[in-house]
Structure formats: structure tokens, C-alpha cells
Amino acid sequence: MPEGDTVYRQAALLRRALAGQVLVRSDLRFPSIATADLSGRTVTEVVPRGKHLLVRTDGGPEGLTPLSLHSHLLMEGMWHVYPRGARWRRPGHQARAVLETARAQAVGFDLGMLDLVPTAGEDEVVGHLGPDLLGPDWDRAAALGRLAAVPGRRIGAALMDQRNLAGIGNVYRNEVLFLGRVHPFTAVADVPDPGALVDLAHRLLHVNRDRSQRSTVGGPARRGEQFWVYGRGRQPCRRCGARITEARIDDAELGPGRPGPGPPRDRAVWFCERCQPRA
């Protein structure tokens, strides 16, 4: 599942392939921007912002307005990079964006969102986000302030709200709450130490940002053994042996600016009733 660490790695991949290179071809397969052409522009930077990705371009030889291609991976999206002319590893009908240089092709498959905005106006698409857990502008105090401003919210929903802190998805939400021994339905005001949860999230994303396989159990782990509770409903808790509980939490509680486009929906949460008792 793409979360902040996945987007961080995707940005690094695209930066290596595109930064400083002139685009010789672009193909944007979203109706709202399908006629846009970025060819002739130079990619100046690729920036992750929480679970969002920004490919910035200059104004090209004509001195046009610098533009940023904004994408969101949602649940299934992924950017691939290939040598120019190489065969893609996914079907062409899944491609939503193609950015081609003299040497490489970057292809965005199954992207959940794709916009083209003036670089100076990026706040239009990412300005609502809270401090980025993997960003150079990370601000712990600001993140805690945003959580404190929603004291009645369930902590399991508040951590997923990208307006509070950007980069946490469902995997990290579940793992952080388990490691912090906090029940996901606890009100923010009743969490004994919200700062400890924020610090855990910051540490886990940083540890995993350069790993090919995410793990929260203290180091690289075999597939199926890399998480404490995520996806482990009815299995024994790795800490105490009790059965892991699976419940649902409604994204509608997140309000405007939910952590992804689309209608509200229930999301699974996993927790150990013994290790994470209700407050």
C-alpha cells in the first residue's frame, strides 16, 4: 500500500531519471489535462509531499509558466522508469502518464489523481497537508498542535488525516498505535502521550524510506512477518499471544481532505485488546 515512504522512494526514482533532463515527449491520459504537452520543458525537481508527488518543470525555451505535474498513487498506483524504447512491465491501458527524455521513460500506472498546476500555485493541490513526516520542513510541534485541535476525534482517524501530519497510511496507523499501546478508538484528548505516537511515526517512516520491503518489527523480516498487527486479524499477538481484533473505522470521520480521493469508505483497523486497552 503506497504511503509516505513509498512516495519518497518513487520521488527518488523519478529524480534520478528525470531531473535536469529535457522532456522530448509527454502523454497525460487524464481527461482534464489530456491535451497538455510538456515536451521541450526541463524537469527541475521531483518532490514528495506526504502521499503526493510533484514533478516540477521549467517554462521551456519559450519561457512559459513553470508547471508541476501532481500525482497521487492512491491504492494501486506506481511510477516505473525504463530505458527509452524498453518494454513496459504493466499493460499499456493502465498507463496514466508518460514522461520521456532522450534516455528514459517514466510511466505512471493506475494513478489515482493527476493534475497540472503552476509550480507557484502548488498549494492548490497540497496546501491543505500538515507537516510532512519525511519532508525537510518536518515540524513536530505543528503536528502536535493540529492533533490537539481535534480533541474529540478518534486517534485512529486523526492519524490518517493528512491535514494533521502527512505520510501516514493504514499500515503505519495500525503499527504506530500498537507500538504505542493505544486503542484506535481512543479520543485524541485521552491519549496519554500524543508526542510519543508522532515520534514513532516519524521514526518508522524514516527507517523504511530506503527499504524495498517495509517492516515495523525492528528490522528486515520475511514476507508475512514484517508487521505487528496490520492485516493479522484473528492471528496471535506477537507480544502477548491474544487474538488480534479487526474492526472498521469510517473515513467520513476524517472530513474534507481525506487521505485520498474518492467517496468515504470504511477502513480496517487491527489491534490487540490486551496490549491496547480502551482508555
Torsion angle of alpha carbons 257, 262, 266, 270, nearest 10°? -70
Rounded to whole angstroms, the Cα distance separating 11 from 50 reads 11
- For the annotated catalytic residues, the residue numbers are 2-3, 51, 267
Rounded to whole angstroms, the Cα distance separating 96 from 112 reads 9
78-83 vs 104-109, strand pairing mode:
antiparallel
Secondary structure element (H or E) that encloses residue 196, with its range: helix 194-208
Residue 5 has a CB neighbour count (10 Å cut-off) of: 25
Whole-Å CA distances, 86 to 16, 45, 89, 99, 103:
17, 24, 9, 14, 11
| CA 92 and chain centroid, separation | 24
- For residues 143 and 152, the answer to whether their CB atoms sit within 8 Å is no
- For the chain, the straight-line distance linking the first and the last C-alpha, in angstroms and rounded, comes to 29
Look up residue 221 and give its amino acid: A
The three cell numbers of residue 181 are: 499501546
* CA proximity to 272, closest of 170, 175, 189, 190: 175
